[in-house]
Structure 1
Amino acid sequence: MAKIDFAAMAPQLLEKVGGEANVRALSHCATRLRLVLVDESKAATDQISAMDGVVTVVQAGGQYQVVIGNDVPMLYEELGKITSLGHGDGAQEQGGEKGSLFDRFIKIVSALINPVVWTLAGAGLIKAFLTLATTLGWSQESTTYTILNAAGDSALYFLPILLAITSARHFKANEITAVALAGALVYPDIVALNDAGGAVSFFGIPVVMTSYASSLVPIIVAVWVQSHLQRWLTAVLPSAIRNFMVPLLVLLIMVPLTLITVGPVTTALSNGIASGMNVLFEVAPWLAGAIMGAFWQVFVMFGVHWGLVPVMLAQYKDPGYSLMAGPIFPAVLAQAAATLAVMIRTRNAKMRQLAGPASLSGFLAGITEPAIYGVNLPLKRPFIYGCIGGAVGGVIVAAASGATTSFVFPSLIGIPALLGQGNLLLVLLGMMVAVIISFTLTLLLGFKEEADAAGTTGPAESTESAEPTLALTSPVPGRATPLEKVGDPVFSSGALGGGVGILPTGGAVVAPAAGTVVTAMDSGHAYGIKTDDGVEILIHIGLDTVNLKGEGFSPAVTAGQRVDRGQPLVEVDLEAVRAAGYDPTTILVVTNTASLAAVVPIVEGEVTTSTTVVEIDH
């Protein structure tokens, strides 16, 4: 199928349904644009059905449903740009996530960092080997070093820009505007203002400068605010000026607002922590070491560590060493050790492939972002075990008066900076204890890994890639039925592709194959997965269950996340679905059937989540 220009399609569709005045409500599910029309007789159904990009039109349940397929969010977004429709629809809001505030924060951070974590891991290894090379005598003054260092450092330095892209996708904000917002935070002149240390103001309002390079939380918060501001502006501005005025106003408001608000908060926290740590190192070094060892990575996560760095740099001049920097070594090495234990213990091939290089970059170069954001933090327990190990090691290092005489990344290669201060043997013992504790706790106590419940591992994926036919297993246990018997004309007609229906006997819905989650509806009722070899799969739980707006659905994955075959996607309360009057039949459809050689349902009757229900010939 030719690529559809949804920007051009949106106004045509709007006109054919009778204009914005004839649309009472607009939303979308995994494949359909759902409209509630004031007068359905005004809609030119035959003309809409004939439009390029429209699969079919269904009028049912008081809704006018335009079936688009996997690209329906793109059409919905374009309609949002030219109308005030759809915004605030319950199915589109992010607020339906369950769990504690901390759990929700971890899920959001994991979802946002996951698309860039492999790049961070690769860049971290470049930094690790460069650090090793300079330790062995390679000059940092060469232009070759400068070029390679840029390759290894750019992803981490410009992390806010990378996160602006993923945050915009998650919060449904404009990606380009989000990148421009993040770019302003690390713009050379803004960096220079922070480095200069002079007074900064914006129309007389004081601006407290701080460094946003490598920061995580500030840009996430900024893009979240941007998404709400953007939706409000889109709703209130006239269509004639909306396309250029929305990004103009977003940037005019958000860039200074972020600098004015985030900077003071970050700086105040940084200064407070730095002052407190200085006092603690004087009166209770062991306690200061425990705090630095346990929470250094947390400081980095929120960007408040930049307030400690100037203090350390000043200490290198007087008295010539920094006690504050010593306990950072066990903090970093403990997280790397926890990641190494994950690599050994995990049954998830993808996690193992990431944990190995992430651990190496942590040990060698002190670059822990891939380890923390890609492995330890999403799994939660390894991160906590790393903090425990770092705390104990920090106590020992601080008690031994361990300190660095120069600014280095805390790593194995950076150990020479610890020479000449304190009891080196005790300092090395502290680092060793931190590594042993975090490694042992992670290896023995383990962690909750979603793929474990299904018993899926890397070999299952290698079997898929070795065979010419891709087998899709049932996403739910139950009774399989031919797609044409499903009580929904869009699915039963095969308009969305070939597949199978399953009447579930259990509420745990799992991935039928390994791949990347490209669609995860906020209502939890539908998920799109794209396999590595390009097969596009839709798992739709129940018929018209989008109307439940998430009630009875507990999602386990988010868009952009990598999943293995059998990995839980969502837990469904089937009784609640039935009690609400909805058919819980779960549909498995291959939405790009037309581009494949064959999509063949091969089973009818009782199935489990290990039963192959569809075979695909590429």
Structure 2
Amino acid sequence: MSTPAQGTGALAEDILRGVGGPENIESLTHCATRLRFQLHDGAKVDQAALDALGGVMGTVPQSGDRFQIVIGGAVARVYSEIMNLPSMTAGGTARPKSDADVKAEMRAKSRGKFAFVDNFFEYLSDSFRPLMGVLLGSSLIIAIASVLDALGVVDFRAADKSATWVFVDAMWRSVLYFLPIFVAYNAAKKLKIDPWVGAAVMAAVMTPNFTGMLNKDSGIPGITCTTNATLGTQECVAHVFGLPMQLNDYGGQVFVPLLMVALLALVYKGLQRVFPESVHMVFVPFFSMLIMIPVTAFLIGPMGVWAGNGLGEGLSWMNNNAPIVFAIMIPLIYPFLVPLGLHWPLNALMLQNISVLGYDFIQGPMGAWNFACFGATAGVLLLSVRHREKEMRQTATGALAAGLFGGISEPSLYGIHLRFKRIYPRMLVGCLVGGVLVGVLGGVDTKAFAFTSLLTIPVFSPAATYVIAITAAFFTSMALVYFSDFRTPEERAAFNAQRDASEATTRGEAAEAAEAVPADERELVAVGATAAASAGSATVKAAPAGTTATATGVGLELAAPVAGRVVGLDEVGDPVFASRALGEGVGIEPADGHVVAPVDGELVTVVGTGHAFGIRTADGIEVLVHVGIDTVQMNGAGFDVRVESGRQVAAGDLLVEVDLDAVRAAGHPTVTLMTVTNTADLTSVVPHTGQDVAAGDPVVTVKR
């Protein structure tokens, strides 16, 4: 189990050390959830140390000295932190090749079927991965339009739609139609040739000049067209340079650019060897286009279309003739494909189906797998709440949100499921139940490439069948995981014993710290149930003193109870507050004696001497305001209390007027403390120190 998450700067440095240092990195890229390293020597990776890092969900070694680190939603930020480290200014170092290296490469090629498979799927992944954002964006646009269609706001499928809705069509169709150009660009970049040449070759067969020949009534002589009885598509042939050229609409095709770029790379690199480097910029792209555009139009294009159509027809036959088998097969194989990155070919087939058939029949059954995955995560979340597993609760909460609203399964897989062997069998039962329901109820189709999340439900048809299947998959997995646990009985007993011992130790340390509190002040600890609850603040995500960082997400801002300079609890000169026995918070060197409520809530405690107040908010956050150090000894002298216990106060209401000169004359520090006494029960308490504030300015962010 990983340690609590650390700052991204520290995490970036730890990751760099874990992969063998910057000198061991040849290149680094990232996708939606993973850092992808190409290393010089994979044996230098300290996988155990990387797995133990807070913020790392898992690691995936691959052949060919490739290594993946699963980060989750923060991957882009962590990637940026790594690349901005001074030692990474070169972005990685090229691998120097000795004679031994060359011989080793040749030996690897001779025995390297696994490396070949890895290279093939890496080629597919890197050709599609950068497009996931725009594919998701287009799927959400069509999802919104589908909701409006279902509500009767607009007939989304009408042939005579207004210009407004024709334009909306263009917004999402742009991604799917021009997908071949995007894929060609990424594939060429992956194979280390000019990506714009790859894009230009693919664009040539998508221009209006080329697509205009698809219409036999265009007036262009020498064009004949026939209809494919199975797919219902029109196939046309034109005679170009006296040779027959099969014409196709390549919009949305994915196999054509993948095949084309693979051959283009050979041509491009061959031309680089033929021409002097001084003329590469002109002649290599020129001859590459001159060769590859005709080859694509005459040969690769039709081959790619045939291959895609053949696969599509095969799966369509299975879906039509054995729908239950097909609907069960898809969700049962996905849990094994996704962790290895082998699901990309099926994604390509989905796009192919939409391009050729106008709809896809794979994504519906696939939704059963995704929601079974998310249901298993929900079961883990419920158990983590039940058994007070704070770290697992936070991991499962983030993974579940990424799944239900983003359709992303990697945080669940790498953060939880692959770490506990009991989860997969139970999740597979959910996949089976969902797949059976899809098959029995007649299948589910969609006309858009959609991430299977709650937000994209409207794009599936029939929606009722889809909702029934994914709901059953979700709750089946959730129930099985919850009632049988994701830990074995032995692991659960050991974990709970360790947790109980840790909590007992925490209570003991807090009790010792509380003994240092004068008797008149101990009643304040009751504001937050017990002082012991806050001793666990060592595990709370708090910003270091002197920073002004805020908590992530939506939180409650606690206002300054008095104007002055904000300092950390370590600087207030009181060992009890510095130990956080009374919770995380701040100290304020006051500019005046006007002390106000920092938050709305109930005054549960008002000490008779007027120097301390306890406030509980409506959602259970417990705040202590303490004026001065050891001011209990003044017996109320210099304190003009304006409130009484039990009343409701609003932020900014006056609590007490304090004669600061009298406090100083009595020999006591005037620093005013504000702490959250139930810090250990919260997700984070972040103080914002090192600033001058007015009463009412935010100084602490609290997140439940």
| Fold in common (TM above 0.5) | no
Q: Kindly name which structure, 1 or 2, has the bigger radius of gyration based on alpha carbons.
A: 2
**Larger RCO (CA under 8 A, 6+ residues apart):** 1
TM-score between the two structures when normalised by the length of structure 2:
0.38
